[in-house]
Amino acid sequence: MTRGVAYERERRLTASLPPRVLIAEDEAIVRLDLRSLISSRGFEVVGEARDGEEAVALARELEPDLILLDVRMPRLDGLEASRRILAERPVAIVLLTAYGHDELVGRAVDAGVFGYLTKPYREQDLLPALRTALARHEELLHARRQVGASAPRRAGAHLRLVLPDRDGGPRWPLRLERRADGSLDVELDPESLD
């Protein structure tokens, strides 16, 4: 992270600044409509991408708070772009698509997105979806900070954590271990699997 980006992120945490949004949509008219709509509602559009590869690059460069991604885009679809973006850093992502198939929605959830809207979207649906995605993302970050704070502080120490599955039952037993460099190693705990 560059000094300028780090300063901006710190400034955003201490001030009430608008959420920074990246829009990734291959249809120019839809991109312009989204930009106009969300800008008029207090969001700051920091970038626009015409395809999935450009979205991944801009997400890395601009570090937005929220990304709106069309599912069907050239060069790299929105689902794969979501996976790549989230592999680099946590960010709230809302997918836009003309298709509402259950299988596609399931794949979107599995990719880690925070929201899903079908086109044609309505303003009264879009804005609450964006705000909800940002709130859920903030809750996730808060939970991660709590886990990090309770994780062992010395190298080699470990902590076991079980995350619930979609139905609320225990499903994902994790083992967190502090590395010598101070970072956390997180892996599925085979000792706790059913």
Count Cβ atoms within 10 A of the Cβ of residue 96 and give its class: 0-12 exposed, 13-18 middle, 19 or more buried.
Answer: buried
- Omega of the bond leading into 120 within 30 degrees of 0 (cis): yes
Pair type for strands 92-97 and 44-49: unpaired
| 194 residues of the chain, pLDDT tens digit each | 445 555 555 555 545 789 999 999 999 999 999 999 999 999 999 999 999 999 999 999 999 999 999 988 899 988 889 989 988 888 999 998 877 666 767 777 777 778 888 888 888 889 999 998 998 888 877 777 776 666 555 555 555 666 666 666 556 666 777 666 666 677 766 665 54
Strands across the sheet containing 184-188: 158-164, 170-178, 184-188
- Say how far apart CA 177 and CA 171 lie, in whole Å: 19
- Which residues are paired to 68 by β-bridges? 23, 94
Predicted pLDDT at 152:
55
pTM (two decimals): 0.68
Buried b (16+ CB within 10 A) or exposed e, 68-82: bbbbebeebbbbebb
Query: Pick from 123, 29, 25: which is nearest to 68 by CA?
Result: 25
Q: Would you say 78 and 52 are in contact if contact means Cβ atoms under 8 Å apart?
A: yes
Predicted pLDDT at 170:
57
Torsion-angle region of residue 78: left (phi > 0), alpha (psi -120 to 50) or beta?
alpha
78 vs 75, 103, 137, 189, CA distance in Å? 10, 15, 18, 31
Predicted pLDDT at 66:
95
Predicted pLDDT at 1:
46
- Say how far apart CA 181 and CA 61 lie, in whole Å: 26
Domains along the chain with CATH numbers: 3-147 (3.40.50.2300), 152-192 (no CATH)
- Say how far apart CA 143 and CA 161 lie, in whole Å: 12
